[in-house]
Every structure is written in structure tokens, then in C-alpha cells.
A and B are shown apart, each in its own frame.
Chain A
Amino acid sequence: MNNGMWALYAREVKRFQKIWIDTIFNPIVSVGLYLAVFGVVTGGRDVATVPYLAFVYIGLLSMNLINASISNPAFALIISKNLGTIIDLQLAPIAPWRVGLAYALAALTRGIVTLGVAVLCTIWFIPLAGIAHPFLLIITILITGLEFGMLGVAFGMWAKGFEALTFLTTFILQPMIFLAGVFYPISALPHPWNIVSQFNPLHHNVNLIRYAATGFADGNPYTSIIVVGVLLFCVAIIMQVVVQKKLRSE
């Protein structure tokens, strides 16, 4: 029943279209504010071969992509559980993994729309000299959006309420983002945080996107490719297991 999955995907895309103001302005404001601050404070400095502003810019965009992808399905599913409309997902003749995939793809779509809008509004202020590896950039953006979309699905299915989501974003996601080399290269971190950051899965997503965009890698890009690939696979399995369990028993 592929058709069913795409209808569900279309429904979830429609859902965030309805709150387009939020979808569009949220990223512009957050990226814009960060950039203004960093631009003023660090104006003119470089990270290796890349201007700092370009370095942090790609980091911020990655952060936005990750945030949008994870919170879109998590929010939608937690609300749906609270309203009881999750029953639609239980009744429909769509395999649980496809249900999860539909939500994750919608999240990816939102992530990309968000990214596109943020880029369009801000790219003009950034000293970027073209894209180093365009094809790799597209692939890593797609994979990152999907990966965190699926994570958001698993989390939204698993979480009981919004407190859990707040916990996730404040206590897990935020620290991970700060240790992911979004704002500075992880090599600039004091010991042991530079080592810890190596084990932060988010770092590898950010690193790969930045490498593809600017050609500068904050750690071996091949390691990051492997880590991101393995992670995508693991997250897919986790999502499938959680969705299957939750849709068949609640």
C-alpha cells in the first residue's frame, strides 16, 4: 500500500504548510540572530582556510535542519497521541515502518524548506566562495534530514507528553549541538571535550555538511561518512521497532 504512505506524507506536509509563518520565520530569525552576533564579535577571523562567518553559517544551517527534522514529527505525533487521532495510523492499512517513513520524509521536507528559506534570506551576507562538493552536499543534507526525522518519529511515538520533548531538546539535543562543532572547530575545545565530541554523532553530520559546502573538514570526512551511514541504519531500525510496538498496542 504505497499509495497510503504517500497520502500520509502529503497530510503531514499539509500540516506544516498550515503553520507556514512558523516554518519560515523561525529559522530566519534564529539563523539571522546568531549570525548578527557572531558577525559582530568575530568579524574577519578565519578557521583554517574558511572565514569564521562561513564556518559558523554552515554549522547554524545544519543545526536548523536537525532541529526542524527532529521536532516536526515528534510534535505531530505527541499531539496526535494526546488528541487520540493516532488511531488513524493504527487503523489504516499501512505498514508501521511506512507510517514512520512518511512522517520522516515529511520532516525532511520541512527541514529542506526551512533550510532553503534560511539560505535565501542570509546567503548574501556570507563570504562563501562557491560550493566545494555539491553532490555530496545534497546527499548529506538528505541523509541528515531523514536520519533526524526518523529519530523524531521514534521519539514522538515513544514519548508520553511534551515534557519529554522539552527534556530532549534542552538536555540532550542542545548540549550535543554545542559539542558538535557548530560554533567552533572541535579541535579548539579543551581536553577532554575535543575527544568527547568525536563520539558525538551530531558532529559527524555537521562536519560532513560543512566539508561538502566549504571543503574544510573538522576531522576526517571519511570517518564521518561511515558514522553517518551506520547511524542512519541504526536509527531506521530503532524507528521501525518503536513504531511497530506503539501502533499495535496503544
Chain B
Amino acid sequence: MNPLSLRNVTKTYKTQGKPLITAVNDVSFTIEPGSIHGLLGPNGAGKSTLISMISGMQAPTSGSITLFDVDMVRNPEQAKGFLGVVPQEVVVEMAFTVQEVLYYFSGMYGVPKAQRQGRIDHALEDLQLSDKKDEKAKTLSGGMKRRLMIAKAMIHQPKFLILDEPTAGVDVALRQRIWDIVRRLHAEGTTILFTTHYLEEAEQLCDTITLMNHGAVIKEGKLKDIQKEFSQNSIHFELYDQNVPHPEGVHRTGSEFEFPMRSLAEDMEMLTKHYNSNLKAIRSEAASLESIFLTLTA
């Protein structure tokens, strides 16, 4: 019983006077119980659209979506009950305090009244919002609002947590904290699906990934396997002076540069010719997710 199974999911948008937009194009993959799955891809790849269909906010144009073997289109109320979702866009209530937002939202997921306060205190502690609990949600800072969104998604202890760019606009310390929470929930048995543009985060966290571009899946599977597949073809090098022109295909990963290997001899020759004495070190290594991403979405 997989937490998620997508079969040939497609979503098209019709806007008047414009050509049909295919936001998600024939996407199929499954997520196994207890895994952390990264959904990656450049802006506009269709990640959020896919997530909104998985969470039952939009119906797919075609294809099927099942959560723990429950069909999202035919049986949405049951399927939604498994889920906690952090949407990409931060939205907050005008009228309610942080505590009230969580109180009613957990109630809407069927958390009994008697249990709500305990869970609220716990979630607020987790996300370092305890001292804000009686403030109006709209007065929180941007990062705090996002944390409130995360608290809302986990307060009913879902079996499957979906986070659409949970760390966008969040400071470094807090990003660490968010991923610690995700790791802990994962250790407790929660299945996780998330998107991020910080590929180091995905690299550290994910068991499996789906890479999307232009609405379609271009790579899917275990992160390790994908890296292995690319490992023989990646050359890393360092330079003394980094502000020089680079040959095509070279991209930067941190303080290093990286490019897909053609043949070792040929590439060495190219590098020495191009950079000359500027070259500090060269090695071939497992490709970083960033370089795989750039190669595949180029």
C-alpha cells in the first residue's frame, strides 16, 4: 500500500485566446512507505500543479492519483485525511490568532477538542512560535507565517506530509530546524514529499527523487542510483582565479567547478589548455545533484 501512486497524470489549462497550457504531462511514479521523496525541477516545471492535484485541490485532466490505495478523485475526503500539506504560497487569516488558526484547522481534520491544546503547544514549541501564540497571525513576519503553515500541516499528525518549498524565504538556522523536524517525522514513520530549489538540501535528505521539466518527468528513482549513473561522467576542478570565462557545459558548485565528462584524456587536455596555470586541482567524482539537475534540464 503505497502512500502515493500516480498514473499518467496530466493537467491542462485553457485560458481564453491563448494556446492550451500543459502544466503536467503524463506523470507516473510511486512513493514507497516511509521514504523522503524530492520533487525537483526549474520554475514552472509543474511541481506545484502536481502537488495541488495530489492534495485534491484540483482534479487532474486525466490519469489517476491514489493515496494509500484510496482514489483522490473518487474518494477525496478519505484520501485527504491521510495528508498534511504545506502549500507554496503563504496565506494567513486576518481575524485569528496563531493559536486559534491551529485550533480550528486541527479540528477540521477531526482532532478531538481535548487533544488540540496539547498538540498546539507542541507544534508551536517545535517551530519556535510559542511566544507568538496569542498574536494575530497576520502580524507575524514572513518566515514566521511560513512556520505557521508548517505547524498547520503537521498538527493532525498525517501519515503523509507534503511540503512545497517549505524553506523558501527562511533563514539558515530555521532551515536547519525545519529539516530536523522533517527528519524526526520521517523517523516516526511519516512519508514525506517535498520540493525545494536548494539542491544541497534535497541531496542531504532524499531517498528518492523525481526530476521534472516542462510538465514531464525526466528522471525518477533512488538518488544513489541516479548519482551512480552520472558518477563516471563528472569532472570537478578548482581554480586560483575564478573570475575567468568558462567553456560551455562548465558550472559552478560551491567553490568548485564541474562538468559532464566525455573522455578523461580529452577533458584533461581541454582543461589544461583553457585554464593553464590557473588550474588548482582536478578529480572525477560522483556528480552533485546540482550538476545532474543542470545537465538534465539544460
Chain A residues with Cβ below 8 Å from B93 are 83, 85
Chain B residues with Cβ below 8 Å from A45 are none
Chain A residues with Cβ below 8 Å from B225 are none
- Contact in complex: A84, B89 (CB < 8 Å): yes
A178 to B172, CA, bound (A): 62
Among B56, B76, B94, the residue within 8 A (CB) of A83 is B94
- Contact in complex: B95, A15 (CB < 8 Å): yes
Task: State whether A10 and B107 are in contact (beta carbons under 8 Å apart), knowing that A91-B80, A93-B78 are contacts in the complex.
Answer: yes
Q: Mark A1-39, 1 if CB is under 8 A from B, else 0.
A: 101101110110011001000000000000000000000
- Contact in complex: A91, B104 (CB < 8 Å): no
Most B CB within 10 A of own CB, among A1, A8, A95, A250:
A1
- Contact in complex: A18, B95 (CB < 8 Å): yes
A123 contacts the other chain (Cβ, under 8 Å)? Answer: no
Q: Please give the residue numbers on chain B whose beta carbons come within 8 Å of chain A beta carbons, in ascending order.
A: 55-59, 76-81, 83, 85, 87, 89, 91-96, 100, 104-110, 112
- Contact in complex: B85, A4 (CB < 8 Å): no
A94 contacts the other chain (Cβ, under 8 Å)? Answer: yes
Q: Mark A79-116, 1 if CB is under 8 A from B, else 0.
A: 10001110110111111000000000000000000000
A106 to B172, CA, bound (A): 43
Chain A residues with Cβ below 8 Å from B100 are 14
- Contact in complex: B108, A248 (CB < 8 Å): no
B73: nearest chain-A partner, CB-CB: A248
- Contact in complex: A85, B92 (CB < 8 Å): yes
- Contact in complex: A7, B107 (CB < 8 Å): yes
Docked complex: A48-84 residues within 8 A CB-CB of B: 79, 83-84
Give the distance to chain B from A11, nearest Cβ to Cβ, in Å.
Answer: 4
Most A CB within 10 A of own CB, among B56, B57, B85:
B57
Give the distance to chain B from A75, nearest Cβ to Cβ, in Å.
Answer: 12
Range for the number of chain A residues in contact with chain B: 20 to 34
- Contact in complex: A93, B77 (CB < 8 Å): yes
A202 to B112, CA, bound (A): 40
Q: Mark A166-183, 1 if CB is under 8 A from B, else 0.
A: 000000000000000000
| Pairs A–B under 8 Å by Cβ, sample size 12 | A1-B110, A11-B104, A14-B96, A14-B104, A79-B94, A85-B92, A87-B89, A90-B56, A91-B55, A91-B80, A91-B87, A249-B59
A94 to B92, CA, bound (A): 20
A96 to B17, CA, bound (A): 31
A144 to B37, CA, bound (A): 51
Task: State whether A91 and B57 are in contact (beta carbons under 8 Å apart), knowing that A79-B94, A85-B93 are contacts in the complex.
Answer: yes
Give the distance to chain B from A78, nearest Cβ to Cβ, in Å.
Answer: 13
- Contact in complex: B109, A4 (CB < 8 Å): yes
- Contact in complex: A84, B112 (CB < 8 Å): no
A4 to B78, CA, bound (A): 12
Among A3, A15, A84, the residue within 8 A (CB) of B107 is A3
- Contact in complex: A83, B95 (CB < 8 Å): no
- Contact in complex: B83, A1 (CB < 8 Å): no
Most A CB within 10 A of own CB, among B56, B83, B89:
B56
Chain A residues with Cβ below 8 Å from B104 are 7-8, 10-11, 14
- Contact in complex: A94, B108 (CB < 8 Å): yes
Task: State whether A85 and B110 are in contact (beta carbons under 8 Å apart), knowing that A90-B56, A91-B56, A249-B59 are contacts in the complex.
Answer: no
Chain A residues with Cβ below 8 Å from B79 are 93
Q: List 12 additional contacts besides A11-B104, A90-B55; criterion CB under 8 Å.
A: A1-B77, A3-B107, A8-B107, A8-B108, A85-B91, A85-B93, A91-B83, A91-B87, A92-B80, A93-B76, A94-B108, A248-B59
Give the distance to chain A from B142, nearest Cβ to Cβ, in Å.
Answer: 14
Task: State whether A4 and B59 are in contact (beta carbons under 8 Å apart), knowing that A93-B77, A95-B77 are contacts in the complex.
Answer: no
- Contact in complex: B108, A88 (CB < 8 Å): yes
A5: nearest chain-B partner, CB-CB: B108
A3 to B58, CA, bound (A): 24
- Contact in complex: A93, B107 (CB < 8 Å): no
Give the distance to chain A from B287, nearest Cβ to Cβ, in Å.
Answer: 37
A80: nearest chain-B partner, CB-CB: B93
Chain A residues with Cβ below 8 Å from B80 are 91-93
- Contact in complex: B59, A88 (CB < 8 Å): no
A239 to B87, CA, bound (A): 27
Chain B residues with Cβ below 8 Å from A92 are 80, 105, 108-109
Chain B residues with Cβ below 8 Å from A248 are 56-59, 76
Among B83, B95, B96, B107, the residue within 8 A (CB) of A4 is B107
The 8 closest A-B pairs by CB, nearest first: A7-B107, A84-B91, A11-B104, A93-B80, A93-B81, A92-B108, A90-B57, A4-B108
Chain B residues with Cβ below 8 Å from A10 are 104, 107
Chain B residues with Cβ below 8 Å from A4 are 107-110
Give the distance to chain B from A101, nearest Cβ to Cβ, in Å.
Answer: 14
A85 to B96, CA, bound (A): 12
A19: nearest chain-B partner, CB-CB: B95
Task: State whether A83 and B81 are in contact (beta carbons under 8 Å apart), knowing that A1-B110, A88-B108 are contacts in the complex.
Answer: no
